Amino acid sequence: MFRSGLVTLVAFSQSVAGHDAVSLLQMDSKTIHAHANHPKEVHAPKVHESPNAEADVMDANKVEYHDLVFTNIVHNNLGGLGPDFDKPEGIRYGGATKLNGRPIDFVISSENYASNITDRNGVSGALGVINIQNGATVNFRARFLEAGTDKPVVMGKFYLSVFDIDTGKAGGKETLSVDGFEEKYLLDGSELDVQLGLNTGVFSGGNHGVAADNPSDPLMLTDVAAARTVTFLFPEGKTEIAFSYAVALNGDGSDSERQFLFAGMSSLYFCKAKKVDIDFSLAKVLRSNLGNRGPDYDQPEGLRFGNIADIGFGTFIDMEINAISPYKVKNSAQNGLNGKFGQVNIMSDASTQFAFRFLEAGTDLPVIVDWIYFSVYDLDQGAIKTPPGKFKEAFDIQGFSTQYLTESSQIEVTELGGGLYRYASTQKGNGKDNPREPMHLDQKQKDRSVTFLFHKSSGFNATFSVGTPAKSGRNFLFAGKSSTVFC
């Protein structure tokens, strides 16, 4: 994963990229059923951010700043406790950002560091990580240095985020103390206990957590991860910052440790962007002849919805869906509106790639929407146990800025490469558990839904697939924002 340093914001244009349909039969059944085997231990899948994520989150924030990336370890010897005992004290992250085209290293050090498991320090996914022993309060000093030297660098504005501030099941509350920031950002529904002074703050864990709910990418947070995150903007002119991280003793006296996770920008800042929301309760079906399979055989190919969204000043847009690979359908009369959702019917044991386009109302002129939500709901499969995974539903999609999944999501996510992701069902369902309101989902409905945020988009491609056996069909439900979105 590559992420840049100092960034001056520019308009970002998203292309509508095509991709061949990928058969469901290629999916690993052991992976697919992992959630079903352990329903009480489900945690959201760990995936890397979309290739668009960093540029888009910068555009959402509308400022010039340094992002920090902690994925390249030069040496790892925090507090002189190793594992790189022959290297200088501290963890040195190489090329964490850039200044005037020059790489800048980030060196974090401590004179009172306490841990018994220092080989866990360094990188966890796309985040920096430091292991801290229970009962310790560790003071940190973080410096910006010219790459490969000890020469201090005066920074412009920069962001630093701290993640997974929580409490262990046996106790061990985590507390971050930091000062000198210009701005802090948390969710309205943050789990953190917060005490604020003038440019200072103390942030303590409110709920217990486990390693499985730790985030792996700062720009792909789940609802739980977002609620345990705080992001800081620091003013220009700094060469270093200081902060402390405390881990309380366990209530039962047991000896353990917790993880301190940090990165630069976080997906909380996508919350700042003003979005357009697709609202099918305002829409009507103008024609329905998807893949030339009817029922409006006398109309041009495609499924067209009129007035799906107001993009401002009373200007509405349409959405048209076109089949760009062979379309197999069980009942084309089910294509169109289903209450407050759009709906497409797919024959089982088949895949079809569709182009979703945003058009000026009543015309074929493309409209580039600045920010827009798109959600897919009710990803489930047949209730009959034999064969396993009967009528499994999946879809492939790319080009989005970020995804929104619950921590207890029942959706299996697979990165297919090139920024393409697959979202597949893992649980059985029936018509009785289908959602009725996009923004009023119960927990099961949230766990079977995913929302995407697109930026500077005139449309996107998605491949919808239904597994075996053949000669039946399933409906895919979609709309705009869902209640899986944490802001």
Per residue of the chain (487 residues), give pLDDT as tens: 334 333 322 222 333 333 333 333 333 333 333 343 334 567 777 788 777 777 777 677 665 678 899 999 999 999 999 999 999 999 999 999 998 889 999 999 999 999 989 999 999 999 999 999 999 999 999 999 999 999 999 999 999 999 999 998 878 899 999 999 999 999 999 999 999 988 899 999 988 888 888 999 999 999 999 999 999 999 999 999 999 999 999 877 777 889 999 999 999 999 989 999 999 998 999 999 999 999 999 999 999 999 999 998 888 999 999 999 999 999 999 999 999 999 999 999 999 999 999 999 999 999 999 999 999 999 998 766 656 667 899 999 999 999 999 999 999 999 999 999 999 999 987 778 899 999 999 999 999 999 999 999 999 999 999 998 877 889 999 999 999 999 9
Task: Decide if 45 contacts 415 (C-beta within 8 A).
Answer: no
pLDDT at residue 147, rounded to an integer: 97
Distance CA 380, CA 396 (A): 15
- For residue 338, being part of any structural domain is answered with yes
Task: Return the sign of the alpha-carbon dihedral for residues 452, 485, 175, 197.
Answer: positive
- Residue 186 shares a structural domain with residue 260: yes
- For residue 169, being part of any structural domain is answered with yes
HSE (side-chain half, CA atoms, 13 Å) at 148: 2
- Residue 208 shares a structural domain with residue 238: yes
Phi–psi pair at 450, nearest 5 degrees: -145, 140
pTM of the model: 0.87
- Residue 451 shares a structural domain with residue 348: yes
Task: Return the sign of the alpha-carbon dihedral for residues 288, 292, 297, 301.
Answer: positive
- Residue 463 shares a structural domain with residue 321: yes
Which of 480, 484, 482, 481 lies closest to 307, judged by CA?
480
- Residue 392 shares a structural domain with residue 470: yes
- Residue 247 shares a structural domain with residue 342: no
Distance CA 108, CA 144 (A): 9
- Residue 218 shares a structural domain with residue 335: no
pLDDT at residue 246, rounded to an integer: 95
Of 202, 229, 264, the residue at which a domain comes to its end is 264
pLDDT at residue 387, rounded to an integer: 60
What is the C-alpha radius of gyration for the chain, rounded to an integer number of angstroms?
24
Residues paired with 402 in a beta bridge: 453
Give the chain's domain count.
Answer: 2
- For residue 23, being part of any structural domain is answered with no
- Residue 223 shares a structural domain with residue 181: yes
Of 235, 264, 293, the residue at which a domain comes to its end is 264
Report the SS3 class of residue 109.
strand
**Domain carrying residue 295:** 284-479
- Residue 259 shares a structural domain with residue 338: no
pLDDT at residue 19, rounded to an integer: 35
pLDDT at residue 61, rounded to an integer: 64
pLDDT at residue 4, rounded to an integer: 37
Strand intervals (E) in 114-164:
122-124, 127-133, 137-146, 158-163
HSE (side-chain half, CA atoms, 13 Å) at 181: 21
- For residue 35, being part of any structural domain is answered with no
- For residue 293, being part of any structural domain is answered with yes
pLDDT at residue 401, rounded to an integer: 95
- Residue 358 shares a structural domain with residue 390: yes
- Residue 191 shares a structural domain with residue 301: no
- For residue 18, being part of any structural domain is answered with no
Q: How many CB atoms lie within 10 A of CB 343?
A: 18
Residue 46 carries which DSSP code?
Answer: P
- For residue 41, being part of any structural domain is answered with no
Query: Tell me, what amino acid is at 389?
Result: G
pLDDT at residue 64, rounded to an integer: 62
- Residue 320 shares a structural domain with residue 400: yes
